Amino acid sequence: MRTFAIHSYKGGTGKTTLAANLAAIMAKKGHDVAILDTDFQAPSLHTLFGIATRSCYVNDFLSEKVKHTEVLTDIGSTFDLSGKLFVGFSDPNVEAIREQLAKDRKWHMQAISQLLVLKQKLEKEGFDYFILDSAPGVHYSSVNTIVVSDFTIIVAKIDNFDFDGTAHLLDELYGPLNKDTMLLFNKVVPNLLEGKSSAGLIEMVKEMFEGKTQLLGFLPCYCNVPLGMGSEVLALTQPDLPFIAKLIEIEQKIEAAEFPGD
């Protein structure tokens, strides 16, 4: 089983949309996949998958209040997928978010132990992929998901905020943790991916990040993606979109990825 986190320096990169659709693409191919929402400050997976309420959440599992089987929801059976797709949702209620923000270091140490337990259980149960949709930045919960993962996909946009922030993450977080990463640029203006502009963009990215991470690719900004209003996983509901075709290419690169420690 391979475990990977999807992380970003700041919010708004589209990492949750990418995480959900990558999980769906993998399950459609016949892989057994579990995906967890660990962005406790801004939970979103429940909206994408159309889940209104749950009796228990990832928060409860990390607090050792419930078993993992009570938290993971079987989405795959709803969409007739070739593989399994189980999703763990974070509590979207404001009070739960406030409580999560107040958690101390001791709780987060307990939480990482629970994540490792879950990873072991999923591997024993025959899952192929365990995906962690991380909170952006360097919160305790973000660091936990990175530590638990075999590698991390960093999602960034083409702007100086993300260039600078991602460079800091690679030098000051992933480097000291000795963690492998892949860098995926999302919402790229299509003109930047054509002709001389494309060559210039690739050269600039290589100059900034070569030797620090693997370049996973560039995803153009597709105007029809926001039309779904963040309420559907397009790989399941509109699989013929160009966005999904491009994301399938990205998924193939993830499957084929090799790292020095492998």
**Mean pLDDT for each consecutive 10-residue tract of the chain (262 residues)?**
97 94 98 97 91 89 95 89 96 93 92 97 98 95 96 96 95 95 95 86 90 94 75 92 96 94 68
Non-local (6+) Cβ contacts of 172 within 8 A are: none
- Going from the C-alpha of 40 to that of each of 79, 91, 98, 192, the distances in angstroms are 27, 7, 9, 34
The pLDDT, as a whole number, for residue 229 is 67
Taking alpha carbons only, the member of 200, 160, 148, 158 closest to residue 183 is 158
The pLDDT, as a whole number, for residue 261 is 67
CA distance 83 to 239: 16
The pLDDT, as a whole number, for residue 105 is 92
Task: Tell me the DSSP string of 143-157.
Answer: HHHHHHSSEEEEEE-
C-beta of residue 13 within 8 angstroms of C-beta of residue 155 = yes
Helical (H) or strand (E) element with 37: strand 33-38
Domains detected in the chain: 2-253 (3.40.50.300)
The pLDDT, as a whole number, for residue 227 is 66
